[in-house]
Structure 1
Amino acid sequence: MQEQILLTVSGHEKIKKELQDLKNRRLKISQRIKTAREFGDLSENSEYEDAKNEQSFVEGRILELEEMLRRAKVLTKNGTDKVELGSTVILKIDGQSPEYTIVGASESDPGTGKISVDSPLGHSLMGCAKGEEVEILTPNGKMACEVVAIK
């Protein structure tokens, strides 16, 4: 049995939108291939090759997204006072107050503050309450932080 993919509601919607966009793009690519075939010799037809390469990428991504949605477990925030998937937390680390949203691995984007529940920080924060001190084991050693707020 394949492992479930944990997603927030917004992450699930984002994947569904990308899938629909790719399916629409697939129709346009088919038309480009048809037009390129009309140019004749396919062995030296760069338009045809480009369209076929794009088609291959799009088809692969469609399959990947459909599989993700098939295995998805969409979790909604229960409004608890504890950190859970989908929670946005404000921390206090070395005098700074970064804000992170805890998401499934497939949604993580540290550059935008979305950290995976499977990351050392995300894993350590799960189940914590406001005001709780947390020690996180990172590849660079231990790091201490405090949960300032949970949204």
Structure 2
Amino acid sequence: MKRPPMTKKGAERLRSELDRLKGKERPRIIAAIAEARAHGDLKENAEYHAAREMQGFIEGRINELEAALSHAEVIDVARLNAGSRIVFGAIVELADEDSGEEVSYQIVGDLEADIKQSLISVSSPFARALIGKSAGDSFEFQAPNGTRNYEITGVRYEV
């Protein structure tokens, strides 16, 4: 089985979340459950049920993060030395040839992808369209809202 790639920065971010969940959130929820339990009848105790539901969510997320971090192949993007060619970990600057709008994305592993932070998954159609191209290249992408034409204005790798 191929190990899913993850950037070093993404792995650090996920480890930080895992530490927070284990060190702060888990003890807080355990205390909330104990307090709600002290209120008596659990059948109609909304605080208890909400705390148990939150505990299930937190434990699920802890398991997901531990599994992802143990199976991932952490890649130090600074060592890739791919030049202006786009590979995993690249920060790609694009100009929409139709609107002139400029955007920037980093290609990262599936679990660390977050479009709000301009982190796109290596397995997404857009990232797959970028992989292997270089700065100066233009390409057409079939987006859900129609065909878009982009020019790759820059490619860099953060240290």
Distance in 2, Cα, partners of 1:27 & 1:60: 15
- Segments of 5+ residues of structure 2 without an aligned counterpart are none
Larger deviation: 28-37 or 12-21?
A: 28-37
Does 2:86 align with 1:87? no
RMSD between aligned alpha carbons?
1.9
Distance in 2, Cα, partners of 1:111 & 1:61: 20
Q: Alignment identity in percent?
A: 37
TM-aligned CA distance change 1:139 to 1:46, over 3 Å: closer
Indicate the residue corresponding to 1:76 in structure 2: 76
Structure 1 position 142, deviation (Å): 4.1
Indicate the residue corresponding to 1:16 in structure 2: 15
Aligned residue runs from structure 1 range 1-151, under 5 A: 1=1, 4-24=3-23, 25-77=25-77, 78-81=80-83, 82-94=85-97, 95-151=100-156
Aligned residue pairs total 150
- Segments of 5+ residues of structure 1 without an aligned counterpart are none
Distance in 1, Cα, partners of 2:101 & 2:41: 63
Q: TM-score, normalised by structure 2?
A: 0.83
Distance in 1, Cα, partners of 2:44 & 2:149: 61
* One-letter amino acid of the structure 2 residue matched with residue 150 of structure 1: V
Distance in 2, Cα, partners of 1:87 & 1:126: 9
Larger deviation: 59-68 or 45-54?
A: 45-54
Distance in 1, Cα, partners of 2:145 & 2:38: 59
Distance in 1, Cα, partners of 2:67 & 2:37: 32
Larger deviation: 74-83 or 16-25?
A: 74-83
